[in-house]
Structure 1
Amino acid sequence: MFFGPRHGAAERGVPEETAVQLFELIAFFAGYGFGAAHAHAYALIAYQTAFLKANYPLEFMCALLNSRAGNFDKLKQSILDAHAHGLVVRPPDVNRSGVAFSIGDPGQGEILYGLQHIKNAGERVAEMIVAERRERGPYTSLLDLCLRIGTRELNRRILEALIKAGACDPLGDRGALLSVLDMVSDRAAQIRRERESGQTALFGETIEQFNGHESAADSAAELDASGSATVAADEKLRWEREFLGMYLSDHPLRRVAAELQQRVDTAINELGSHLDGLLVQVGGVVRDVRAFVPKRSTTGQRMAFLQIEDLTGACEVVVFARTFEECAPLLHPDAVVVVRGKVEVGRSGGPVVPDDEDRSETEPAKILAESVYAHDDARLAAWRRDSTVHVRVGPGLSAMLAPLRHAFEQHRGDCPVVIHVDSGTSIEEIALSSEFGVDPGPALERAVEGLVGEGSYRVEIRRARAPERTPRKPAVGSAAS
């Protein structure tokens, strides 16, 4: 098997054992390594992608959103990335949006949500709305939209989706539009029938004279929705989640973000293989709950799979029977909860195969819940994350002492601080006394980096390793496998 390399190595004075080991390494690398041409091609693509993202961020992010439109989790991450780069993704708008994601006002860094990505809308209706708008101008009201597109194509189900997703906000309040939706649809159908039959309108004008736009009387009737209740902000957000797959105009966590930040030690986008097996505490809004009785259950108790999301991303949470029975009343869509549990990455419970390690890098992390709390649970008030603030400074420490001390005093807390003094040849660590404890957060980070420089501030969070779950005991009298 190793005739070639063994003899070639012997001619060069390399021991046979070393030659065999080297050949085995080369053969192993060939199982996953890339040839030079392949690597060069990928390097070129990576360079071109990085160039476009750095120099044309608006166009790049718009194209990226279109490429990920079918995966809401990836789409949400891309939208968060766009926001981090100073761009803004606007909700859909029948008078501005394209069929797919498109660029709005470049000066404001706008990306407009595509009409075809609204649940129940579809590509064909989106194309008709955009084509009609480009040919004859913006829509002036809900009746105008119905008349120009047609109630056959723009049926009640699609109209309701457009309204609830916010695409018809330029035409009126969502609650008012929903309250007159049936009346407007009926009136549009009547006008279209009259137009097709050539009948005249109330004051003698033919329908064609309105050039496809409703009369003043029709407009007044449409807007006569004074009895309609104003839709609450939370309800609008629920509609966005239902029809866009995510919260876009706002997020229910923003009102409790500061409070929630004090009760978690990990953001969802930080979950990954480096935290596999560790205990974390995350907070977010419940997006989906699926409760069921496992087929192999001997007690009939339910467990659940949850989807929770924070302002950085979403993840799956597995709630086993014992924990589920304790927290079941908390687990409903749009509830804000704090979950403590074990991170698990890339394991589905089956046998480990050689590719599992590679696949775990791309499979999303999930949390096996140990406990679930309401975000305002009194038991969380005394909880503190186990963390240390690290600040790295150059050799001119003496000039920084007074400003740094002032920054620490402005953000007092119980988190210890370690100063790392870089002299150029060595780094000395100075652990400050407890009287200089701080409350770590974005405000302190901005203050420190404003004094010392970007990248000088770091928070180290220590997490315990979760104990291994004890295997479930087989039922008494069950046959041995």
Structure 2
Amino acid sequence: YQEQVMQIFQHLAGYSLGQADLVRRAMAKKHLDELMAQKDKFIYGDIEKGGNITGCVSKGIPAEVAAKIFADMESFASYAFNKSHAAAYAVVAYRTAYLKYFYPKEFLAGILNDRLDKIEEISKYIAYMKERGIAVLQPDINRSRTIFAVEGDGLRIGLGALRGIGIEAIEAVINERNEHGQFADFADFAVRCAKYINKRIVESLIYAGAFDCFNHPRAVFAAVYEDVLSRVTAMDKQKSGAQISLFGNIIEEEKITIDYPDIPEYDQTEKLSLEKSVLGVYVSGHPFEKFAPYFKDKTFNCSMMQYEEDEDTGERKYTEIASGQSATMGGMISAYKKLQTKSGLFMAFVTVEDLYGTVECVCFPKVYDKIKSFLAEDRVVTLSGKIDISDEKPPVIIVDRMNEFTPTEEKSPSAANSVSGNNGGNNTAGGAGGGTGNAVQGGAYAEEKDDSEKTLWLNITGLDERDLGELTDTLAFYQGNTSVIFVDKIKRAKYMCSQKVSISRALYA
């Protein structure tokens, strides 16, 4: 313990208690330069320099022995604690291990409530819970509390976790529910809570799925909520003004009824996108979920970005990754930013998301030139590169290769044919001929070749000049690095197209 180091400096080298404590502090803060500045004083003292430290040699300890003792303390400094600190950490470790094992849901609820403002960590814990069969229950206006809470076999997301919603407004809604019972429907909620909330809050609750319990699509609530709130506000003004009818009676409050329009729900992608916009994470599903099984053999995912942080220095130590480590991963582009380098070339910072979180991927000009044709949000990609970890920023991946990913089952028959061989045979006029040389078998996908190594063969038999011109113009919209060869069976000729393309579902369509 650090206290023992203090005793060694006191009893062997003649340090005062205050001087020994300064050594302890240097050790606690991991200031090795300050610790090493004490080496000569520890061995030989500083009496000759006007100090009061006698040193080990003056007490009959050989210099080489004193140097060995100091070296042992030097290596020990990287993980030394004072005794009370170590004891406290041990108690906390045992208690948290006990809670995690015997009360996993309550334990996770506590962790999540401590990280309400750290969305990237919440997404990792949500993925963790799903993997271990702990249900993640979406916000519910009749069930959610302000914070995460255990409910049955899962955890219910609290309404206070929604972005941009004041805790006071949410607590007022929950108090209303607790005092007067659950809300019967959306109209009942609006009448009882309009005085606590505004349109923005209601919109966030809709997108988060808090009104799904009323058995109408979110798109329907989004279409009617503004009108409903306006009617409730007008009704409240009417009531407070005690307006009198032509017949001398006070106009009494009427019950709000809603004529719900018959419109379809948002498509799944938009629904999840809106959900994430207010929760910061995907809850009812994840757009990458159906792709995840294809990437089980990759060496990196965002769950590996866990770190331990030194509470004194704030230094982060990553336990599963290291700077310079090779990484392969699959994910979905959630954002990207293009910028121009000093040399005039373009590069991009691409945020790639998987089930566990996001990682920034740096694409320098050579890589950017190859990926710019498919660089778009929600595009699924596979990539490889090197992990780079700096002191002040989260880890990034320096990309050396990135390809658009399309599972076989989503390809059209013509697309499937286009990657099955290297000649243009057995295709109708104008169809995509044999393709890139990437064999596709058993629902797997292939990425053996870079785009620049692929060739797209197109059967142009029977096309006139106008049709051929339209085809060439279409190819120009999909610029990339894959060569295109036209095949005319009648003329028994092959022509190299001047336009190179990027292979994608849109091109095949």
| 8 Å CA contact 2:194, 2:229 repeated in 1 | no
Q: 1:193 aligns with which of 200, 219, 237?
A: 237
| Counterpart position of 1:7 | 57
Note the C-alpha offset of 1:77: 1.6
Deviation digits for residues 200-233 of structure 1 (CA, Å, limit 9, x no counterpart): 899989645x6xxxx3xx32xx23312x332111
| Counterpart position of 2:136 | 89
Q: 1:42 aligns with which of 89, 93, 96?
A: 89
Separation (CA, whole Å) in 1 of partners of 2:55 and 2:137: 62
| Counterpart position of 2:264 | 229
Separation (CA, whole Å) in 2 of partners of 1:150 and 1:79: 32
Q: 1:167 aligns with which of 210, 213, 222?
A: 210
TM-score of the superposition, structure 2-length normalised? 0.63
Separation (CA, whole Å) in 2 of partners of 1:241 and 1:202: 51
Give the 3-state SS of the residue equivalent to 2:197 in structure 1.
coil
Note the C-alpha offset of 1:90: 1.0
Q: 1:270 aligns with which of 294, 298, 304?
A: 304
| 8 Å CA contact 2:388, 2:395 repeated in 1 | yes
Percentage identity across paired residues of the two chains: 28
Separation (CA, whole Å) in 1 of partners of 2:87 and 2:304: 31
Paired residue type of 1:298:
S
Paired residue type of 1:270:
M
Pick which of 81-90 and 159-168 moved more: 81-90
Separation (CA, whole Å) in 1 of partners of 2:198 and 2:357: 34
Paired residue type of 1:266:
F
Paired residue type of 1:244:
L
Pick which of 111-120 and 338-347 moved more: 338-347
Q: How does 1:344-355 map to 2 (within 5 A)?
A: 344-346=388-390
| Counterpart position of 2:455 | none
| 8 Å CA contact 2:243, 2:250 repeated in 1 | no
Q: 1:287 aligns with which of 330, 334, 340?
A: 334
Q: How does 1:79-478 map to 2 (within 5 A)?
A: 79-105=126-152, 109-150=153-194, 153-171=196-214, 172-199=216-243, 207=252, 215=255, 218-219=256-257, 222-226=258-262, 228-261=263-296, 264-270=298-304, 274-294=321-341, 297-299=342-344, 301-346=345-390, 364-376=394-406, 381-383=445-447
| 8 Å CA contact 1:279, 1:340 repeated in 2 | yes
| Counterpart position of 1:389 | none
Deviation digits for residues 88-146 of structure 1 (CA, Å, limit 9, x no counterpart): 221111111111112222xxx22111112112222122111111111111122323222
| 8 Å CA contact 1:307, 1:315 repeated in 2 | yes
| 8 Å CA contact 1:286, 1:333 repeated in 2 | yes
User: Which has the greater radius of gyration?
Assistant: 2
Question: Structure 1 residues 113 and 188, CA, compared in 2 at 3 Å: closer, same or farther?
Answer: same
Q: Which has the higher contact order (CA 8 A, sep 6+)?
A: 1
Question: Structure 1 residues 198 and 313, CA, compared in 2 at 3 Å: closer, same or farther?
Answer: same
Q: How many residues align?
A: 349
| 8 Å CA contact 1:65, 1:79 repeated in 2 | no
Structure 1, unpaired ranges of 5+: 349-362, 385-481
Note the C-alpha offset of 1:260: 3.7
Note the C-alpha offset of 1:274: 4.1
Note the C-alpha offset of 1:27: 4.6
Note the C-alpha offset of 1:383: 4.6
| Counterpart position of 1:25 | 72
Note the C-alpha offset of 1:5: 5.6
| 8 Å CA contact 1:121, 1:162 repeated in 2 | no
Separation (CA, whole Å) in 1 of partners of 2:301 and 2:321: 14
Paired residue type of 2:261:
A
Note the C-alpha offset of 1:160: 1.1
Question: Structure 1 residues 83 and 201, CA, compared in 2 at 3 Å: closer, same or farther?
Answer: farther
Give the 3-state SS of the residue equivalent to 1:223 in structure 2.
coil
TM-score of the superposition, structure 1-length normalised? 0.66
| 8 Å CA contact 2:330, 2:354 repeated in 1 | yes
| 8 Å CA contact 2:140, 2:213 repeated in 1 | yes
| 8 Å CA contact 2:242, 2:250 repeated in 1 | no
Note the C-alpha offset of 1:265: 3.7
Give the 3-state SS of the residue equivalent to 2:128 in structure 1.
helix
Deviation digits for residues 133-174 of structure 1 (CA, Å, limit 9, x no counterpart): 1111112232322221125x4222221111111112123211
Note the C-alpha offset of 1:245: 0.7
Give the 3-state SS of the residue equivalent to 1:346 in structure 2.
coil
Note the C-alpha offset of 1:267: 2.8
Give the 3-state SS of the residue equivalent to 1:89 in structure 2.
strand
Give the 3-state SS of the residue equivalent to 2:277 in structure 1.
helix
RMSD (CA atoms)? 2.8
| 8 Å CA contact 2:122, 2:281 repeated in 1 | no
Question: Structure 1 residues 137 and 279, CA, compared in 2 at 3 Å: closer, same or farther?
Answer: same
